[in-house]
């Protein structure tokens, strides 16, 4: 099977056909017809085998995660995902692998009404690059730079389970057998907080998705907004599996630096707190207040109302 046969056979058989896609897969470019008075948000993420997922990860999970991490970025901007392009590098053409991979891609696309509109295929070590685009009302989007001193710091969902799964896979921790599939599902099939992001657009002053770890990603907000923050470690939302599997200090460390959570970290001013919590409850998204911003331009942590030092950092692609 040659490149264009591969594209036609596997990547044109999607259920989603959006009205704003004038011309999709098959030409040199796609042609889109965006809605008037809307901004387009664009993001690109690459997943490399052995770096972003273990080599033995199922192809369906790889397809799902490749889409999910991009939709998580769209969610962090408060936008509605619309289109994506896929560039995939394959060691060889394995039809069974591609069928399962496409299932993972198209399941998530269908759920969020996102159409695959193009991309590229090449031969080499396995990697997947997706560019996703979304729409938001003109001038109404979230960013990392709107936070103010005094704003409250919130996170959706629970933290650290995906990192715990990776530690279990690499033999660093032992997990009770009945919990392994649960946490591995968090690692392999993250759920982008798309509806939560759109809801937060009316309330949050800044937002970011948690991909590299809470400390690292909070640092991006602090730097962009010229603020500091204090994290209340007692308040971190940890699953019962995390609490039962690790000592408290180890669980906190994973929650702060583990990465792969793909939850939303966001800030809200005092006036918007109640409205935000009510709206997020109606959206079915659990949120937890984990601290507050300040003018220090540094990140501090407290435990039992006492300052404690930070001895951890998030994921870095080019760390020395």
Tell me, yes or no, whether 133 and 156 share the same domain: no
SS3 category, 182: helix
Closest by alpha carbon to 72, among 196, 159, 206? 196
Tell me, yes or no, whether 234 and 182 share the same domain: yes
Residue 35's pLDDT is what?
A: 84
Tell me, yes or no, whether 276 and 240 share the same domain: yes
Out of 105, 137, 169, a domain closes at 137
Q: 81 in a domain, yes or no?
A: yes
SS3 category, 290: strand
Residue 313's pLDDT is what?
A: 60
SS3 category, 262: coil
| Dihedral of alpha carbons 51, 9, 14, 137, sign | positive
Q: 146 in a domain, yes or no?
A: no
Out of 102, 137, 172, a domain closes at 137
Q: Can you give the residue range of the structural domain that contains 54? A: 3-137
| CB 203, CB 283: distance < 8 Å | no
Tell me, yes or no, whether 157 and 288 share the same domain: yes
Tell me, yes or no, whether 192 and 131 share the same domain: no
Q: 221 in a domain, yes or no?
A: yes
Tell me, yes or no, whether 169 and 220 share the same domain: yes
Residue ranges of the binding site for ATP = 119-120, 144, 211
Residue 312's pLDDT is what?
A: 66
Residue 1's pLDDT is what?
A: 67
Q: 145 in a domain, yes or no?
A: no
| Dihedral of alpha carbons 301, 304, 305, 309, sign | negative
Closest by alpha carbon to 134, among 189, 69, 78, 81? 81
**58-77: pLDDT as tens digits:** 999 999 999 999 999 999 99
Residue ranges of the binding site for substrate = 52, 260, 315
What is the mean pLDDT, run by run of 10 residues, along the chain of 320 residues? 72 80 80 90 93 91 96 97 95 93 95 94 94 94 96 97 94 93 95 97 97 94 97 96 92 92 97 98 96 96 90 52
Out of 88, 114, 137, a domain closes at 137
* Alpha-carbon torsion, ordered 248, 253, 255, 260, to 10 deg: -140
Tell me, yes or no, whether 17 and 83 share the same domain: yes
Tell me, yes or no, whether 116 and 161 share the same domain: no
Residue in the block written with tokens 């279990």: 168
Q: 111 in a domain, yes or no?
A: yes
| Domains of the chain: total | 2
Distance of alpha carbon 3 from alpha carbon 94, whole angstroms? 13
Distance of alpha carbon 82 from alpha carbon 20, whole angstroms? 9
Name residue 301's beta-bridge partners: 231, 308
Distance of alpha carbon 67 from alpha carbon 227, whole angstroms? 32
Tell me, yes or no, whether 128 and 158 share the same domain: no
Residue ranges of the binding site for Mg(2+) = 28, 43-45, 73, 120, 209, 212
Residue ranges of the binding site = 28, 43-45, 52, 73, 119-120, 144, 209, 211-212, 260, 315
């Amino acid at each position: 099977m040659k490149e264009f046969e591969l594209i036609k056979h596997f990547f044109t058989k999607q259920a989603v056909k959006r009205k704003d896609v004038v011309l999709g897969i098959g030409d040199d470019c796609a042609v889109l017809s965006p809605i008037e008075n809307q901004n387009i948000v664009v993001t690109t993420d690459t997943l490399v085998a052995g770096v972003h997922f273990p080599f033995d990860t199922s192809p369906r999970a790889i397809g799902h995660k490749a889409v999910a991490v991009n939709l998580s970025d769209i969610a962090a901007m408060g936008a509605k995902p619309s289109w994506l392009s896929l560039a995939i590098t394959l060691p060889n053409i394995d039809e069974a692998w591609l069928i399962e991979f496409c299932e993972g891609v198209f399941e998530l696309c269908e759920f969020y009404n996102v159409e695959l509109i193009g991309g590229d295929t090449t031969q080499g070590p396995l990697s997947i690059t997706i560019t996703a685009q979304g729409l938001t009302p003109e001038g109404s989007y979230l960013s990392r730079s709107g936070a103010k001193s005094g704003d409250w710091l919130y996170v959706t969902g629970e933290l650290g389970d995906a990192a715990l799964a990776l530690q279990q896979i690499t033999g660093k921790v032992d997990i009770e057998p009945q919990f392994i599939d649960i946490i591995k599902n968090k690692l392999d099939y993250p759920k982008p907080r798309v509806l939560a992001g759109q809801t937060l657009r009316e309330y949050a002053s800044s937002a970011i998705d948690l991909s590299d770890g809470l400390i690292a990603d909070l640092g991006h907000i602090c730097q962009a907004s010229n603020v500091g923050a204090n994290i209340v470690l007692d308040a971190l939302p940890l699953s019962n599996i995390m609490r039962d599997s690790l000592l408290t200090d180890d669980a906190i460390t994973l929650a702060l630096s583990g990465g792969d959570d793909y939850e939303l970290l966001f800030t809200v001013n005092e006036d918007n707190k109640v409205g935000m919590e009510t709206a997020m409850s109606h959206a079915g998204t659990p949120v937890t207040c984990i601290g507050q911003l300040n003018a220090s331009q540094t990140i501090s942590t407290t435990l039992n109302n006492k300052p404690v030092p930070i001895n951890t950092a998030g994921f870095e692609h080019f760390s020395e």
